[in-house]
Amino acid sequence: MTAELQKGRMGPQVCLLGLLALFVAGKCSYNPEPDQQRTLPPGWVSLGRADPEEELSLTFALRQQNLDRLSKLVQAVSDPGSPLYGKYLTLEDVAELVRPSPLTLHTVQKWLLAAGARNCQSVTTQDFLTCWLSVRQAELLLSGAEFHRYVGGPAETHAVRSPHPYQLPKALVSHVDFVGGLHRFPPTSTLRQRSEPQVPGTVGLHLGVTPSVIRERYNLTAQDVGSGTTNNSQACAQFLEQYFHDSDLAEFMHLFGGNFAHQVSVARVVGQQRRGRAGIEASLDVEYLMSAGANISTWVYSNPGRHESQEPFLQWLLLLSNESALPYVHTVSYGDDEDSLSSAYIQRVNTEFMKAAARGLTLLFASGDSGAGCWSVSGRHQFRPSFPASSPYVTTVGGTSFQNPFRVTNEIVDYISGGGFSNVFPQPSYQEEAVARYLSSSPHLPPSSYFNVSGRAYPDVAALSDGYWVVSNHVPIPWVSGTSASTPVFGGILSLINEHRLLRGHPALGFLNPRLYQQRGTGLFDVTHGCHASCLNEEVEGQGFCSGPGWDPVTGWGTPNFPALLKILIDP
C-alpha cells in the first residue's frame, strides 16, 4: 500500500479518477452482490437517513490470486496420507501466495484516493483494505447506496447500513469481491433457557450440565488439563455486543472447577471489553472453553473493531489475516442463513477459512439452533442451511441431550441441533463416502426436494448442548441450551489433544475434517437416536434428518470420548 494512501492524502490523479467515478452512475457499472438479501432483520427499525457528514468505516475485499494452489496446499497439509501433512504455512507464506496483483492494488488505491478515502489500513495479506469516508463520500463512491441508521437486537445495538444495492465501476470488476459495511447486520443470539425437566426423586441425579458432568461423560480425569509448559492456546470469538466478566469466570470456577486445575482469567482480550452487564452467551463461551480446555491459555475476540458501520464477523477475519501468532483452536457461535448472504461474500469468507486451514488453525463453528431450518422457495418448502456451518473448511459442531436429562447417560439428538446440506458448496471429497452411506441406509430420509443431496453436509461432530449452568452477572443460571454450548466444549477438548501433540514435538491438529472422516468416527461416541426439527407442514411434520449409525447430518460422527480420541490423534 502506498504511503499516501495510508495517510489519507490526495494525489494529483484526483481529477482524472473523478471522471472514472462518473462511470459508476452510468452503464459501465456492476453490482458485486446482486443476491445479497437486504430485508431488515426482525427486531431492527430504521431511524432515518444517516447524517451526510457522519464517518463510515468500509472494508474492501480485494481480489486474491492463486486460490487453486491454496486449495491444494490445504488438502496436502491436512491429509495424514500426504508427505506435507502438518507442514503448515506461515502468515507470510499465505500472503505471498494470495496477495492481490500489483494492478489490483494500484487500481483500487487510486479509485479510493480519488473519492477522498482516508486512514486506509491494509492487512499482512494485503487482500483487505479498510477506509474511512463520510456518508456523502461513500454514497458518491458506491452508486445506489443510501445509508440509514438502525437500532435493534436485545442490546439495542446501533448500526449504519444501506437498504439499497450498490454499484462499482466496471473497471473494478476483476479487482474487488465485495464491500463490507453496507448490508449485513450484527447477529443476534439463538441461545435459550429451557424449563427444567420434571422427574420424580433426586437420588444419584445431576441438576444440569456443569464442568464435572462434561468431564464425567467425556472421560476426562483430573489430570487431563493443560501442562502450562507449552505455547498452546485457544480462543473464542463473540460478535453479539456481549461481554464476559472476569468476576463471573472466577465465580464459575469457584462453584464448578474444584476438581481440576484451571485458570481463572483470560490471557488476552482482542477488541472492546466494555463494562456493564455481562451477556449469557459471552459468559458461556468463556466458561466452558476454559473448563473443557482447562489450564490452557485462552484469548477472547470481543466484538473486534466494533463500529456502527462495521461488520464484527468481517473484522474478526481481518484480524486473522494480520496476526502471525494465533491460538491453535478457535470456537465461534455465529451463523446466518446461507440464502441471506451474497455469493461473493460467502465465497470470499470461505477463502478466508482456507487461509486459516493452510496455517494449521482449527476453526469450529456452531451448527445452529434451528434444526434443518425451513423456508419457502416458489411456494415450496425447503430446508434452510446455515453459513459458516456449511463451509467445507471448518469443523461444525452439532448438539445432543442426555437420554435421561438428570443422569450422565448415553446421548440422543437435541432437536435444535443444526444440520443439513449446503446449497452453495459442493460436497468435499473427504466426506463423500460417509454421506453416501447415510443417504443409502437411513430409513427416515426427508423428501429429496427439501435438500441438496450433493452439497457439503454438516455437522461433523457434536457435544452436549442442553441444560448448562452459566454464571453471568454474579448469578448462576441453569438450563441454558444451544450449540453455542457444545462448540466451546469440543474446542476445549481439541486443545487438550493439541497439548499432548505439542509436548511430543508434533504440530497442532490444524484443519481436522480430512483426518476425522478417514477415522470413520473412531474416538467418538456414536449418537444413533433422535431427529431434529424442520418445517411445520403436513409433508414432513416438523421432522428433519434423523441420526443413525456412523455419520449423520444431525450429530456428525458423534461426541468426544477423550482417551480414545487422544489415542488416535496424538501422533501424526
CA distance 505 to 158: 47
Burial grade of 30 (CB within 10 A; 0-12, 13-18, 19 or more): middle
Distance CA 479, CA 273 (A): 26
The reply to whether 552 sits in an annotated binding site is: yes
| 285 given a catalytic annotation | yes
Catalytic residue among 281, 311, 336, 499: 281
Q: State yes or no: is 352 an active-site residue.
A: no
Residues in CB range of 385: below 8 A, 6 or more apart: 337, 338, 373, 420, 421, 422, 423, 424, 455, 458
Q: Which residue is it, cell 472447577?
A: 257
Q: Contact at 8 Å (CB) between 179 and 142?
A: yes
> How far is it, in rounded angstroms, from Cα 514 to Cα 393?
10
The yes-or-no answer on residue 68 being catalytic is no
Measure the CA–CA gap between 230 and 393, rounded to whole angstroms. 27
127, 177, 248, 285: the catalytic one is 285
Grouping H, G, I as helix, E, B as strand and the rest as coil, residue 178 is strand
What angle is formed at CA 29 by the lines to CA 28 and CA 34, rounded to 5 degrees?
A: 145
Neighbours of 311 (CB within 10 A): 25
Answer yes or no: is 527 a known binding residue: yes
Question: What's the burial of 533, exposed, middle or buried (CB within 10 Å: 0-12/13-18/19+)?
Answer: buried
DSSP 56-112: EEEEEEEPPS-HHHHHHHHHHHH-TTSTTTT-PPPHHHHHHHHPPPHHHHHHHHHHH
Burial 90-110, CB ≥16 within 10 A → b, else e = ebeebbebbbbeeebbebbbb
Q: Which three cell numbers stand for residue 374?
A: 425451513
Q: Give the active site residue among 484, 486, 534, 547.
A: 484
Q: Which residues pair with 330 in a beta bridge?
A: 235, 363
The three grid cell numbers given for residue 149, joined into one nine-digit string: 441508521
**Which grid cell sits at 490?**
469440543
| Distance between CA atoms of residues 572 and 562, nearest Å | 17
Which residues have a catalytic role annotated? 281, 285, 484
List the binding residues.
526-527, 550, 552
